[in-house]
Amino acid sequence: MKIGFIGLGVMGRPMAQHLIDAGHQLYLYRVKPRSAHLVESGATACTSASEVARSAEVIILMLPDTPDVEHVLFGEDGVLEGVEPGKLIIDMSSISPLATKDFAARLDARGCEYLDAPVSGGEVGPKAASLTIMVGGKPEVFGRAKPLFEKMGKNITLIGGVGDGQVAKVANQIVVALNIQAVSEALRFAARAGADPAVVRQALMGGFAASRVLEVHGERMISESFEPGFRIRLHHKDLSLALDSAQLLELMLPNTAMVHQLMNGALAKGLGDKDHSALIEAL
């Protein structure tokens, strides 16, 4: 299959590589030195998003934020200028659920199909093709895309209609953020009280407090190894999406708001490009 892929960052590069390895012909935009190996593997570098859209049957986006997706889709030389009816756009970025519905409607008017399919799995997930993929869209369109998702992930779920994948991802980011904050406080408490936080973590891993965050990020916190992973500034963005949506829904998310403020402090301390486990340094 001819697949366009736009967004070759920490997550996007290995995702694109898996699709190449599966025998698909990829068309890439914004190829940088770190992603040049994809061209060496057989992908084609394009000069614009519209060229990608003209060349491919399916266009996948993996971009940082809502404005980035909107620009790539609808800006000058964007995807909209190159698509034809029947083509499929899959946005695997983590962006606003409300904006997602608008983007899908604008592409539907051009006769294109749309799925939102944000992912979870940290830095390991895309490399191991073990991502959790949360999908919003029509069941028949999901069926068309599922073989591609299976090359990039393991836990693949159709949540509901367009935008529902983004809702699930925002919910995921709330849970992860609050867990990181809880583990940070627990390990800070252990250290200040005079116990070895590494031994405390080991003990907690055998009890009801055990979690993936305690296992992976707890180790990062103890070793002070904060190479991203998933950057604090991006998680901060996701919690902003949660709080903005909650305001529209007239919903209270008090602990999400508190962790968002803690991330504000982390950004002010210059920690934005460190892994989100570095939230412990803001304490």
Residues annotated as part of the active site:
169
Residue indicated by tokens 């998702």: 149
Distance CA 12, CA 93 (A): 10
The packing angle between helices 164-192 and 232-248, to 10°, is 120
Q: Token digits for 242?
A: 């949660």
Q: Measure the CA angle with vertex 94, ends 88 and 98; round to 5°.
A: 80
Distance CA 20, CA 37 (A): 11
Distance CA 178, CA 232 (A): 13
Residues 6+ apart with CB under 8 A from 60: 3, 4, 5, 6, 7, 15, 90, 91, 92, 148
Q: Token digits for 173?
A: 């980011």
- Given a contact cutoff of 8 angstroms between Cβ atoms, the answer to whether 107 and 89 are in contact is yes
Phi then psi for residue 89, to 5 deg, are -110, 125
Max distance between CA atoms of the chain, in angstroms, equals: 65
Distance CA 88, CA 140 (A): 12
